[in-house]
Structure 1
């Protein structure tokens, strides 16, 4: 991981220099903390015109200058100069210079601190790499990113903020990318608690015995088929003076075979990512603590393997959830909502939340409806939905609000032997039905609850912008943006 630092400009030009180009005036170089000699500035201006650099955020053109300083000049688009545009620019620079050892970025005079935060965030995210290979011949060699500013002290806090947001997002990526052979519920619980406690977050982990004693029947049912017992991790951030309390819940299925309702082989290939919601939630509370956000946050992370064995739960079983509601199991591959239901019921009954938000890689229907990059958002309150969507938009993690039609509720309640059934009307409105099922566990807090089905956006099949190939850490940055406004 490359280090990020600030310094003042100097008369000596670096070996690799990145210079921003704005969308409104792509042929004009801004005044920066690293002034270019007149002849070089003229050459660059002509080069910009020749390559027709648009200034679009994240777009890069590299001007090689062998035997001179700088020997490589990276011209990076910063669009309209928003924080999101600078985030794209940070990613663009890192990708353009990945085979160099260091780069200096010339910041424009008077640039906003949020731009520096965005650049740092994008740089950290684009530099991310996860591999367990014994040899990595394609590993980037970039080790140092220096931001040259007229007054570095002005940007120190912003740089730290952007770097922190990027780093905690990579935590979620690491946890999600880890193969499930290693990533048991116990392993993941320990990894999350370690990072949380390091940031000043208090932790409690319930084992299978504690789950049984307290009535978390859903988590126990889903985890019962695995020799690796389930866990429920509870993390608490309590800053002094905070009054609002947000409870975050994340689906943490460390591997999902589908259970007795077995998945096809191709559908199992990426099921190590089925704890992406828990990873995002755990990383977000770590980020809230590191950023000292003045809001109380509790994270609930039900962790379980959904395995196939003689002890696995079966279609036709009835599960008694925390709080007493029962679910008839019609499909053991609709297991995520079963563990989430326990955590949501516990949050409402025991934690007195102002707001409850859950993130889950819940349904393939989300992908069918909205594709690979847009998550499905469900909320009963317009203001809550708008606030979360605004944070998602600023983070570059798009969401689309979905309906929860009342005339579908009877289908969720259509069991003869239980209060609910976990998989009504197969193949029909799968993501919507899952949200309606979860809403049953919120009681009087349903209008203070928001659900995000983010199965497809949790994974990227290629390196693109701030995303590396693999886990995206989707939701961490949106949650931090939302929490910062509480």
Structure 2
């Protein structure tokens, strides 16, 4: 297959002979996606030739290849890639997404080592053909990188106020309107769930609202999507305190909030012709003399009440307020929430697949397809009506913890009433495990993954 840059005949012959040499220490190259064969050329230009497999040439294959290439070249300052002549714009988008996301680094070291690889040049016969694909990849990668930064930042820095300020700083240059509500506003407007969860911390809760719409367009003519993300900046479990091991990674408990912020940044960067409003209910769940207690009854925004069975089921408490507020004041055409909500999600679906709950099968299917295209995964889960008895309460509308059985499903059932009249166009995504990677894998790096930015952006693009 030809490439945009033709190898000199002598070098091409060397490559053919080397690939066919059975004495090579590497196994025979099969051209699988992400497979890299390395040919050193001492004293030559280039000094090292990387031969990259792209599988069937699908976008997912190119995403894997882009990640593998930047890792293979990480010890060199520059990488030049000659594209095959038949690569598609979708393939180029995958290539750039994989390369950019795998290049992500986060450190707070006093003397960090800068990355060696600083330049990636892609050679093609027709650059203009791929300009849009590259722009889309860059927008998604920037949104994902911010989401990863927010997740990876330690919670001694990451207060609700700090998170909101970082989001506003990133959003404003893109023409996104921003508003941050403080504890006094939350109290005046009866956000009981947020105030209860955040009441044990010296760093009070905040409600972050970001609004994107293109200039010069009648807002009523645009579809209005509201994205809600859980924003627990640290979760001790409160009075129902977690064991030390269970608390270790709880700086990631705002992964849903980080994802919806990253998605609206990408939507604005791409100037998508939509109204996108993001709500992030931010709170820190701490034990103290002012913390909420098991046995309390909390009144949410809109009046619904919850009996507290566990203060460690705090995510649904803040989401309930935000969902009810979204329905009452924003009138969404579609309402989607993302949350690192339950350990049961990971037990059921593992580290790379999020649980999706919705009564709208068409909407669920559209998000499933967007996730597949984006290189993330969701799976639609049931909402069994007979599980409602697990969240019954003698004194309130529901209890906030359905026990250890079917955790993700009972959490979704708890949230469903807060969707109110938007219930038929509401989706809840539990992405607790996919929000964190224990090590590098394809385009993922160790730490926060920014899961959800890519899926939401793909879905928004499809609208």
TM-score, scaled relative to structure 1: 0.92
How many Å separate the matches in 2 of 1:88 and 1:107? 15
Q: 1:48-92: CA deviations, max 9, x gaps?
A: 344421211111111111011221111111111122211111111
Match for residue 285 of structure 1 among 243, 264, 267 = 264
Q: Which residue of 1 aligns with 2:431?
A: 454
Q: 1:430-453: CA deviations, max 9, x gaps?
A: 111000000011122212011110
Q: Which residue of 2 aligns with 1:40?
A: 11
Q: Which residue of 2 aligns with 1:422?
A: 400
How many Å separate the matches in 2 of 1:47 and 1:221? 66
Q: RMSD of the alignment, in Å?
A: 1.2
Q: Which residue of 1 aligns with 2:213?
A: 238
Indicate the SS of the match to 2:434: helix
Indicate the SS of the match to 1:359: strand
Q: Which residue of 1 aligns with 2:76?
A: 100
In the TM superposition, 1:20-419 aligns within 5 A as 30-50=1-21, 51-136=27-112, 139-239=114-214, 240=217, 243-412=222-391, 414-419=392-397
How many Å separate the matches in 2 of 1:155 and 1:481? 17
After TM superposition, give the deviation of residue 110 of structure 1 in Å. 4.1
Indicate the SS of the match to 1:456: coil
How many Å separate the matches in 1 of 2:100 and 2:211? 26
Q: 1:250-300: CA deviations, max 9, x gaps?
A: 000000000000000000000000000000001100110001111111100
How many Å separate the matches in 2 of 1:341 and 1:55? 49
After TM superposition, give the deviation of residue 111 of structure 1 in Å. 2.4
How many Å separate the matches in 2 of 1:48 and 1:271? 48
Q: 1:185-212: CA deviations, max 9, x gaps?
A: 0000000011111211101111001111
Q: Which residues of structure 1 form unaligned runs of 5+?
A: 1-29
Q: Which residue of 2 aligns with 1:18?
A: none
How many Å separate the matches in 1 of 2:172 and 2:154? 24
Q: 1:5-41: CA deviations, max 9, x gaps?
A: xxxxxxxxxxxxxxxxxxxxxxxxx211211012221
How many Å separate the matches in 2 of 1:471 and 1:72? 32
How many Å separate the matches in 2 of 1:313 and 1:464? 40
How many Å separate the matches in 2 of 1:225 and 1:464? 38
How many Å separate the matches in 2 of 1:65 and 1:306? 57
Q: 1:306-338: CA deviations, max 9, x gaps?
A: 001000000011111111100001100000000
**Higher alpha-carbon deviation: 280-289 or 150-159:** 150-159
State the aligned residue count. 454
How many Å separate the matches in 2 of 1:209 and 1:183? 20
After TM superposition, give the deviation of residue 402 of structure 1 in Å. 0.8
